[in-house]
Amino acid sequence: MHARSLWELAVTAGPFAALFALSWLSLSLSPVISVALSLANAAFVLRLFMIQHDCGHGSFLGDRAWNDRLGRVIGVVTLTPYRVWRQSHATHHATTGNLARRGTGDIPTLTVREYRALSALGRLRYRLVRHPLVLFAIAPFYVFFLRNRLPAKLSGAHWRDWASALGTDAAILGLLVGLYLTGGKDVLLFTYLPMMLLAASAGMWLFFVQHQFEDTTWDHDDGWAVQDAAFHGSSHYDLPPVLRWITANIGIHHVHHLASRIPFYRLPEVLRDHGELADVGRITIGQSLSCARLALWDETRRRLVSFGEARRLPA
């Protein structure tokens, strides 16, 4: 597993560095070419984040300490303080689908009853939060460029969380200053920024689709079980082979939530050996587009519904 992991890292970090260099060099020819190469490089930024994700689960390398070291380094590239994210993501895995424990590492989700109980201003605020433009354009910028600069919970945050956040910030600042001093503002505007914005938006979309699909599951404490929530509350985002590679098989999310210590490159083997799992929570790219309209959990029909569907439900 260790050799395979190092190979996966090499075929991700190598092309990332090469495309970044090409985008930088192409600035002398045309900013358009530079931006095009930068946008293509977003695929490798996304894949690096998925490797960091596996490091957080201790599943990428054989040794926990080396997982953490690699995760911290990649976190500078992905604008993600590794320790802070790892803890938040662990909470997400432990609480996914639990209506009583929402709010950490998930997409804000209200039930139909909760939404109806809000004031007019509260409903407007929630509708704005769930608007696709906010979710997939504004929120990614906020999360990766701004919110990640501090610990997830400021009140009572452990000093190690502050060290993780501020240490990552210092490394990012050093990187950006270095890029500016050697390449000027153009390398930041045309080579660095486009790939980071696209990678952040793509990552937010993936995380959304992994749990915000019509047949997902949410329950209160008395009816919630972590295994059922992990398996049935996570989708199988059935992507074409190229996108499966770019996203490091994260679309096989139901299996990942059920067994997070399986490295991403082994997940297709699970589906191959257990074919009955392939249809559980399966959604295609075409089907996933309609997920963007879903916004509220209908506790009666036990599915996510749109605001329009919620209006037609009996009070």
Domain range list for the chain = 2-99+129-287
Q: How many Å apart are CA 299 and CA 114, to the nearest integer?
A: 11
pLDDT at residue 156 in the model: 72
pLDDT at residue 1 in the model: 57
pLDDT at residue 154 in the model: 66
pLDDT in tens, the chain (315 residues): 589 999 999 999 999 999 999 999 999 999 999 999 999 999 999 999 999 999 999 999 988 999 999 999 999 999 999 999 999 999 999 999 999 999 888 899 999 999 999 999 999 999 999 999 999 999 999 999 999 998 877 677 788 888 999 999 999 999 999 999 999 999 999 999 999 999 999 999 999 999 999 999 999 988 899 899 988 999 999 999 999 999 999 999 999 999 999 999 999 999 999 999 999 999 999 999 999 999 999 999 999 999 999 999 887
**pTM score, two decimals?**
0.94
pLDDT at residue 267 in the model: 97
Residue closest to 192 by CA, chosen among 234, 149, 145: 145
Decide the pairing of beta strands 236-237 and 303-306. unpaired
pLDDT at residue 261 in the model: 94
Angstrom distances, CA of residue 19 to CA of 34, 68, 229: 10, 26, 39
Sign, Cα dihedral of 110, 306, 46, 20? negative
> Taking the CB of residue 12, how many other CB atoms lie within 10 A of it?
22
Cβ-based burial of 313 (10 A; exposed 0-12, middle 13-18, buried ≥19) = middle
Residue closest to 39 by CA, chosen among 150, 158, 200, 172: 200
Residue 193 corresponds to which tokens in the numbers above?
């920024």
How many Cα atoms within 13 Å fall on the side-chain side of residue 197? 12
pLDDT at residue 151 in the model: 86
SS (H, E, C) the chain: CHHHHHHHHHHHHHHHHHHHHHHHHHHHCCHHHHHHHHHHHHHHHHHHHHHHHHHHCCCCCCCHHHHHHHHHHHHHHCCCCHHHHHHHHHHHHHHCCEHHHCCCCCCCCEEHHHHHCCCHHHHHHHHHHCCHHHHHHHHHHHHHHHHHHCCCCCCCCCHHHHHHHHHHHHHHHHHHHHHHHHHCHHHHHHHHHHHHHHHHHHHHHHHHHHHCCCCCCCECHHHCCHHHHHHHCCCEECCCHHHHHHCCCCCEHHHHHHCCCCCHHHHHHHHHHCHHHCCCCEECHHHHHHHHHEEEEECCCCEEEEHHHHHHCCC
